């Protein structure tokens, strides 16, 4: 059996970043905050979902990246957010108007499902109570109440489909599903394709909308939600469980020589991405992270920043943090979950984006939580370490391009 991760033939670089978070829209809303010396103060909404604080969608004019009203109407916010962030990444890479480049560009999207119609679902649950013919009630209500277009807004692969329609990205189009791991696979496979010469440019990313009651319903069933922050309603209080955050994060990955040939600005090289899953019994989560670290960043002393894509579940986060401390004792640790919340499929893409911005900057990455250590020097090599709420570990490495 050959090595799963041979040294790649071609370098993969990040040339465009599109970011929407609770902190704001676009890199402009983030870069200044990420260079400060003070910890970021999270933006939280305590009211949109009772007892479940979220890092909300910022104020956003969809027309900025989705000019046609007809296109906007075909989507709900989850797809709109992804299409918007993808457009920002293309703009940032200077490829938005390059129809030829977009026509050949490969698209990788990590997706959950789109919005359900909460009103229709509520109507059916109410109508079915106490009935012994619930399935017939269901048929009757669904046939009369469902909007035809909502199906397309719900379909997982229609986030990619809408990116194709709005931005004319028409190479291959692949949608990966599976919570946090989907975000890892999107980068792992895009990286592998470019490294092997199977692709020149990929648009890779995800979107997650935290204030959706249908999504919160899903996550809450796991029983790991925050209570401390919800009770205090004080943004400076450290959560003691999962707090969801809205994030749209897309990136343009390019084969280095293609990026250089068009004079693109290069944020960072994406050196390696690797993920794995399995039992978390005893110390197997830790062992898996150590194995992954050995694959993506064996030269531990070169790593000066670790961006932890941890989910905000104290037990998981602590185990990951202990592994990181063992692997990279001298590196600065940053945990986006405190400032941005957990964004499931988008958590890994967001962390890659923050790491790329950090190694591209001439200053250290700002503390993302009150108890984060101050960074001393700008980072040159950053590792992203990820753990899903329920399953999946991953590591990636980005380096300053020079």
Partner 1 sequence: MAQDKFLDHLGRPIVAVTGMGVMTSLGEGIKDNWDALTAGRSGIRSISRFPTDHLSTTIGGLIDFAAAPHADVVERSMTFARSTMREALAQAQISGEFGGPLFLAAPPIEPEWQARFELGERVAEADRDSDAYTQFLKLLRQQPDPHFYDQISFGTIADRLADEFGTRGLPVTLSTACASGATAIQLGVEAIRQGRTDRTLVAGTDGSVTAESLIRFSLLSALSRHNEAPEQASRPFTKNRDGFVIAEGGAALVLESLSAATARGASVLGIVAGCKEKADSFHRTRSSPDGGPAIATIRGALEDAGLGEDGIDYINAHGTSTPENDKMEYLAISSVFGDRMPDIPVSSNKSMIGHTLTAAGAIEAVFSLMSLQTGTLPPTINYDTPDPAIPLDTVPNVKRDVPIASVLSNSFGFGGQNACLVMRAEPA
The residues facing 273 across adjacent strands are 396
Distance in Å, CB of 323 to partner 1, minimum:
18
For CA atoms 41, 47, 49, 52, give the dihedral sign.
positive
Distance in Å, CB of 126 to partner 1, minimum:
7
Q: Supply 332's token pair.
A: 């600065």
Q: Which is nearer to partner 1, 153 or 339 (CB)?
A: 153
Task: Give the three-state DSSP class for 348.
Answer: helix
Q: Which is nearer to partner 1, 27 or 169 (CB)?
A: 169
Q: Which is nearer to partner 1, 131 or 325 (CB)?
A: 131
Bridge pairing between strands 381-387 and 305-309: parallel
Distance in Å, CB of 113 to partner 1, minimum:
5
Distance in Å, CB of 159 to partner 1, minimum:
9
Distance in Å, CB of 36 to partner 1, minimum:
35
Q: What is the dihedral of CA 103, 347, 333, 275, to 10 degrees?
A: -80
The residues facing 398 across adjacent strands are 270, 382
Q: Which is nearer to partner 1, 168 or 363 (CB)?
A: 168
The residues facing 270 across adjacent strands are 398
Task: Give the three-state DSSP class for 288.
Answer: helix
d(CA 185, CA 68) in angstroms, rounded, equals 31
Distance in Å, CB of 372 to partner 1, minimum:
28
Q: Which is nearer to partner 1, 239 or 392 (CB)?
A: 392
Q: Which is nearer to partner 1, 31 or 48 (CB)?
A: 48
d(CA 344, CA 310) in angstroms, rounded, equals 10
Which residues have a Cβ under 8 Å from the Cβ of 322 and sit 6 or more positions away?
286
């Amino acid at each position: 059996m050959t090595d799963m991760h041979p040294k790649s033939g071609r370098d993969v670089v990040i040339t465009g970043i599109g970011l929407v978070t609770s902190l704001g829209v676009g890199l402009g809303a983030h870069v200044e905050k990420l260079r400060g010396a003070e910890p970021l103060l999270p933006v939280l909404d305590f009211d949109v979902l009772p007892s479940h604080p979220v890092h909300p969608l910022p104020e956003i004019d969809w027309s900025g990246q989705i000019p046609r009203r007809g296109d906007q109407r075909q989507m709900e916010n989850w797809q709109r957010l992804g299409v918007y962030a993808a457009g920002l990444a293309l703009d940032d890479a200077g490829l938005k108007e390059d129809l030829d480049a977009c026509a050949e560009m490969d698209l990788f999207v990590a997706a959950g499902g789109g919005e359900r119609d909460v009103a229709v679902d509520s109507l059916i649950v109410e109508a079915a109570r106490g009935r012994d013919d619930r399935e017939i009630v269901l048929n009757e209500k669904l046939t009369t109440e469902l909007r035809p277009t909502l199906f397309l807004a719900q379909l997982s692969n229609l986030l990619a489909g809408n990116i194709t329609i709005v931005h004319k990205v028409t190479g291959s189009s692949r949608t990966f599903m599976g919570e946090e791991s989907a975000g890892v696979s999107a980068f792992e496979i895009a990286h592998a394709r470019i490294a092997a010469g199977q692709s020149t440019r990929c648009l890779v990313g995800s979107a997650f909308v935290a204030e959706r009651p249908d999504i919160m319903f899903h996550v809450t069933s796991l029983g790991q939600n925050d209570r401390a922050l919800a009770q205090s309603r004080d943004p400076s209080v450290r959560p003691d469980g999962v707090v969801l955050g809205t994030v749209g994060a897309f990136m343009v990955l390019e084969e280095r020589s293609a990026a250089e040939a068009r004079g693109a600005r290069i944020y960072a090289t994406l050196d390696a991405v690797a993920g794995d899953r399995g039992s978390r019994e005893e110390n197997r989560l830790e062992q898996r992270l150590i194995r992954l670290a050995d694959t993506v960043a064996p030269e531990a002393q070169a790593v000066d920043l670790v961006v932890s894509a941890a989910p905000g579940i104290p037990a998981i986060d602590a185990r990951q943090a202990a592994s990181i401390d063992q692997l990279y004792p001298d590196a600065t640790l940053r945990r986006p979950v405190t400032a941005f919340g957990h964004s499931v499929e988008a958590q890994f893409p967001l962390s890659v984006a923050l790491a790329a911005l950090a190694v591209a900057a001439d200053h250290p990455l700002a503390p993302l939580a009150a108890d984060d250590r101050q960074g001393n020097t700008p980072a040159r090599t950053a590792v992203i370490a990820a753990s899903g709420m329920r399953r999946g570990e991953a590591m990636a490495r980005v380096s300053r391009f020079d």
